[in-house]
Amino acid sequence: MADALEAWLAELRGIEGAAAATLRAYRADVTRFLGFIAAHHGGAQGIAALRGVTQSDLRAWMAHERARGVTGRSLARALSAVKRFYRWLAARDGFDATAVLAQRAPRFDRGLPRPLAANEARDVLDAAGTVSLEPWVAARDAAVVTLLYGCGLRISEALAIDGGDVPLAQMLRINGKGGKERLVPVIPAARIAVTRYAQLSPYPPQRGAALFRGVRGGVLDQRIVTRMMQTVRQRLGLPASATPHALRHSFATHLLSAGGDLRAIQELLGHASLSTTQGYTAVDSARLMEVYAAAHPRR
């Protein structure tokens, strides 16, 4: 079982270019499943035990996970990982995996994205460049958050930009989740912020090296950006939901509010499914109802 899992993860890493965080999550989810199946059948039985898994076994595993406090959302994610593993294993070993692939995920309430208001997003962009007293670090922080909000990038995507891409063109090629490429328009404010950072940085941008660097010259760590955002939101009195990823949510929500096409926003964000992007329509509708309830003369 363990050998099969490692072979699958190696293929995801080498062929699909899966991110390290994705591989860690898959390994943890599938390992727990394999451990349960082995124990459920009275001890390790190798691949033979996996071929014979029934929907009854799956329901027992899911009940076990819920009993130990796993949320519906986390269990749905784990089941998705198990299904991907089974799809690969069935193709490799030539057995019928219908029992696993047909299992429905548990229902759970999808939390709505929590974007910032437009004025709050502008305040964050202004404040990010004032956290550090070191001019080039301040310019770096301002450039990163401008890319997150101005281009809708994930933080991992922004920090993966190559030094050879400077000065930024009007369109930026981004490698997103699962190695999927997309083209993202770069607004002038983002190009200006990145150019200023590149001019001040003691580590000149080089092709093949990360654009954004830490103070010691290594690749900028996401945790540093997260801590910077924590400082910013404390200064501005923003809620804990004002994270780097909230700037990406804000990008999508504000585009939608301004009349942006849902399909176009899906492409800009790199969402595989339109249903993921549709979550922003719920946010927009919820805000509209709040305004309506507050302003209607007969409330």
Question: Are 223 and 252 part of one and the same domain?
Answer: yes
- Is residue 108 in a domain? no
Residue where one domain finishes, among candidates 66, 101, 136 = 101
Of the residues 154, 180, 203, 298, only one is catalytic, namely: 154
Asked if pLDDT for residue 288 goes beyond 50, the answer is no
Asked if pLDDT for residue 289 goes beyond 50, the answer is no
Question: Are 90 and 131 part of one and the same domain?
Answer: no
CATH number at residue 181: 1.10.443.10
Q: How many CB atoms lie within 10 A of CB 43?
A: 8
| Residue 40 annotated as catalytic | no
Of the residues 40, 64, 177, 287, only one is catalytic, namely: 177
Asked if pLDDT for residue 255 goes beyond 70, the answer is yes
Question: Are 134 and 280 part of one and the same domain?
Answer: yes
Kindly list the distances between the CA atom of residue 117 and the CA atoms of 32, 257, 262, in Å, as whole numbers in the listed order.
Answer: 40, 11, 19
- Is residue 298 in a domain? no
Of the residues 32, 213, 248, 254, only one is catalytic, namely: 248
Question: Are 87 and 122 part of one and the same domain?
Answer: no
Asked if pLDDT for residue 138 goes beyond 90, the answer is yes
Q: What is the mean pLDDT of residues 67-88?
A: 88
- Is residue 241 in a domain? yes
Question: Are 202 and 56 part of one and the same domain?
Answer: no
Question: Are 211 and 89 part of one and the same domain?
Answer: no
| Residue 280 annotated as catalytic | yes
- Is residue 107 in a domain? no
HSE on the CB side for 11, CA within 13 Å?
11
Question: Are 41 and 95 part of one and the same domain?
Answer: yes
Torsion of CA 35, 41, 43, 45, to 10 degrees: -90
| Residue 254 annotated as catalytic | no
Question: Are 38 and 144 part of one and the same domain?
Answer: no
CATH number at residue 32: 1.10.150.130
Q: What is the mean pLDDT of residues 270-297?
A: 51
| Residue 248 annotated as catalytic | yes
Question: Are 157 and 244 part of one and the same domain?
Answer: yes
**Per-residue model confidence as pLDDT tens digits over 262-279:** 666 676 676 555 555 555
Q: How many domains does the chain have?
A: 2
> Which range of residues forms the domain containing residue 11?
2-101
Q: What is the mean pLDDT of residues 234-242?
A: 89
Between helix 188-200 and helix 135-151 the angle, nearest 10°, is 160
- Is residue 299 in a domain? no
Question: Are 61 and 206 part of one and the same domain?
Answer: no
**Choice among 180-189, 232-241, 286-295 with the minimum mean pLDDT:** 286-295
| Residue 245 annotated as catalytic | yes
Question: Are 148 and 33 part of one and the same domain?
Answer: no
- Is residue 33 in a domain? yes
Gyration radius (Cα) of the chain, Å: 23
**Per-residue model confidence as pLDDT tens digits over 12-29:** 888 777 777 788 899 999
Question: Are 61 and 162 part of one and the same domain?
Answer: no
The pLDDT assigned to 110 comes to 57
Q: How many CB atoms lie within 10 A of CB 169?
A: 11
Of the residues 66, 83, 245, 287, only one is catalytic, namely: 245
Contact 186, 151 (CB under 8 A): yes
171-180: long-range contacts, CB 8 A cutoff, minimum separation 24: 174/270, 175/17, 176/270, 177/19, 177/22, 177/270, 177/272, 178/16, 178/17, 178/18, 178/22, 178/272, 179/16, 179/17, 179/18, 180/270, 180/272
The pLDDT assigned to 278 comes to 52
Residue where one domain finishes, among candidates 101, 130, 148 = 101
Query: To which residue do tokens 């504000």 refer?
Result: 254
Residue where one domain finishes, among candidates 101, 133, 148 = 101
More confident residue, 76 or 107: 76
**Per-residue model confidence as pLDDT tens digits over 109-133:** 555 557 788 889 899 999 999 999 9
